[in-house]
Structure 1
Amino acid sequence: MWLPFVLTFLLLQLYQVAALKGDSQCGYLVCVNATVHHDTITYQMTARQERMGWLALGFGRHMAGSDMVVMWRNEDESLTISHRHGYDHTEPQVVEEPLRTAFLPMLQPTVWDSKLNPANTLAFSIPLDKSQWVHKPEKNGTFEPLIWAYGMTRPASPDPHTTIYGHYAAGMLLLNLEKDLPGTPPEDSINDTTMPRPSQDTQTASEERLPYTTHELIVLGHGFLVAIGMLVLLPAGALVARWTRTCTDRWFKLHKLLNYMIALPVILVGWLLGPFAVFEARASHFTDAHQISGVLILVIYLLQLSLGRYIHARRGRPNRATHAPSNIFHVCLGLVVIGAGFLQVRSGMNKWEAHTAKELSHWCHILWKVWIIALPVLYLLGLSLLKRQFYQESHGLNPSSAPKHYVALSPDEGHRSMLFNADIDLDSLPDYGYPNNTTNGLTKEAETAVPLLRRN
């Protein structure tokens, strides 16, 4: 007699579970998972940094004019919910009687992604409100705009009215809360708000389909340009200087073109996108090793460029050593910049994956590992040309050091070659009684060490 009622009840329960809707998305430093159940929605916020003070979720597109729920974990592991309203870029004010009152779920939901830290996860439930949902035809869905904020310092008191310190980062999310959630039914009951966890294949496909946010595109541009400048252009300039200076006097032009005229604007634009990305995320500047190292590397790179221009301006001056300390320091600084660039790019790759939950293509890691080994090998092999370089310099045969209008007349190893400046007026030279255009004249010039040969 009771069997039909029991079956009907179980079918209704299964239908309700299968009908769970919600969405999840990760911002710069905060991930949000939302599950809709009847007229209630549960939001799960997870900080992606180990240090967490407080988390906030606001309902709207901008801080000004948005209601928000601020949460933090106290020293005794209790949770505080504070209803606030944003007014411009000041501390949100406490709302005594909010339009919707948030409350703690009976059970705090388990973390929805194994990559996230459960200790940095806070959840609250609130009555459903579709008044601010926006339909986007291009995305074929209806989305709820949300703003998030992340603070690194925990408020001093569990009182909801206590002062909260300024946020470290903030951003915006769009959640499609009409999307069906895949997963299995909870083990306890329908009132257990444990989030259904998607399968690994479904989760991976969902991550691949997520479009890049504006912030992520800025960060990608920053990483791409800096990587091209630091790992391609600067090493190419160093290899040109190491391998071709004994072969052609045009090596310096190519070295300058790569390291200065092309690399400088590429690196500067890429570097500036970094602070702009932090500003766009409303985060604090120069708060981690990656950001501070980026400033130091840029300063060293600019110093190395300035030193190179100083050396080039003084070349050819009398009594100047062939290998002055400034030349050696210039080379050392260049190698330091390239080495630091490799570490900085690697740090940026790790930071991207940690903050966006989006893994870079596997070939990026492979290419970085291959290049960090191949580049030093190529440079060290180029050091085999030092003997040839020193010989050319000691005999005036080095294309890089010989003035433009000079030619070497004697390649004999016993003494330095005689050089002739074509700008010198031939009429001012002594007359040795033979024409300058005869073969004997050429021989006599070399024998008497008198440079009378004009270079055509």
Structure 2
Amino acid sequence: MWRPLLLALCAVQGALALAGTNRCNDRICIKATRADNIDTYTIHTHPDRPIAPEKFGWMAIGWGLVMPNSPLVIMWPNEDGTFTLSQRKAPRHVMPSVDHSPPRTAQLNEGLTWSNTTSTSLSFDVPSDENNNTIIIWAMSNTRPDSTDPTAGLIQHTWHGGEMIDFTTEYSDVAGPTAIGYGSSKATDPATGGPSLSLIAHVVCGVLVTMLVLPGGVVVPRITRGITTTKSWFYFHILNQGFFALALVCVNFGLGLTFGGEIDSAHRRTGTALFVLVILQILLGIFSHFYKPGHRVQQYTFETKRGRGPTNFLHVVFGIITVAVGWSACWSGFTVEWTRRGHGVPAYGFRVGWGLIVMMWIALYILGLIFFLPRQLRIESAQRATDLAEQKRYFPSEFDLKVRNQALTPSPPMPLRGGTPSTTAFAQQSPKLSSEFASPEGSPILRTSFSSTRPPRMPLVTYPARKNSDPFADRKSSSIKGGHF
């Protein structure tokens, strides 16, 4: 008689028993129970790691292995004591947007949701999907959204992880160890949730290259070129921009890649643009300083009297643009990106310091344009005149050679007035200078006929006949001995 009653009581007790999982890690605890085809998920901070309400941001649970395309339920407490529940989805590792048609609609469980000075618990209910074993992902941020609206913007999570949920086992209030574990981004210290060493190095390199190295490589040569005639500014420019700036930009860009995510913010877009511009600017500088176009190329380009071509002016313009992009990357980094990645709001003094440094560099560059650029042009003009004088001294130009040759070449004699004389020689006299014609007097008598049109002939000169002499006459009388004279 009692046996059927006991079996019925056991069946009722089994039906009333909760099935689910209760696990904790070093940061949070996750509870998942199933009853009457309703799954209840509760996520709260670890009892041994209390978090003050002002340092608590939001918590999220999603169904899937990774964040992209996984249904997410995000909750956060508000300053007025209310709680916000928002269901979202993200196509990539970006801030998830509101999902207006989620696969399962979640509702806030007010009985298990609370927040006090040491801990926070957030809970919601969703219809069961009849899947007894499922993997969930979770995330927690220490920066709270600034609105109670479910569509409010979110700050990137500080910690994230996964957990295995088993609804076939009986739920226990004693939490077990986590099955998957948790982690944080490379920009976050997993122990404290603050900036990691990689992020600190990223900030230091970024500030140095954008606020000191790049603008210094532009302003210092602008001023020194108006002071000295040496090439010290050029060597400084090469060392500063080609070595220090390039090294810092490459290291900074590499550290940024380790943080993961998409190019989805102004800081990441300007940082990528700065990396590309620095490399292009260095290549353009090498080309403009060391490449000299040939005669075939010069007809399609131009060159100033100081020897500057189009690439020199492009190098200057791109240099100014590169410095401006670097300033923009630094500004968006500490005003937007730092807060967006969950590291709090920086002090207002950083904005003031950024503005003072930028104004200082701009003032120095304008000073160099107004006072030192004209001085540089005068120095270059004087140097060019000196070089031209030295060149004319040792390497005269074609015009100078032509003038010199004309001065050294005697002019031809003036032609005789009247007709063209024709001459005939008659006799030979002793050579004496004639005062009238400045020719040897006594030379063959010239008979001039102005009526003849024939060109003049050279006078005929006769010389006395030379006697034939035998060069060996004085030796014929001598005897020849031994074949020798």
TM-score scaled by structure 1?
A: 0.46
Q: Identify which of structures 1 and 2 has the higher relative contact order when contacts are C-alpha pairs closer than 8 Å and 6+ apart.
A: 1
Structure index of larger Rg: 2
TM-score scaled by structure 2?
A: 0.44
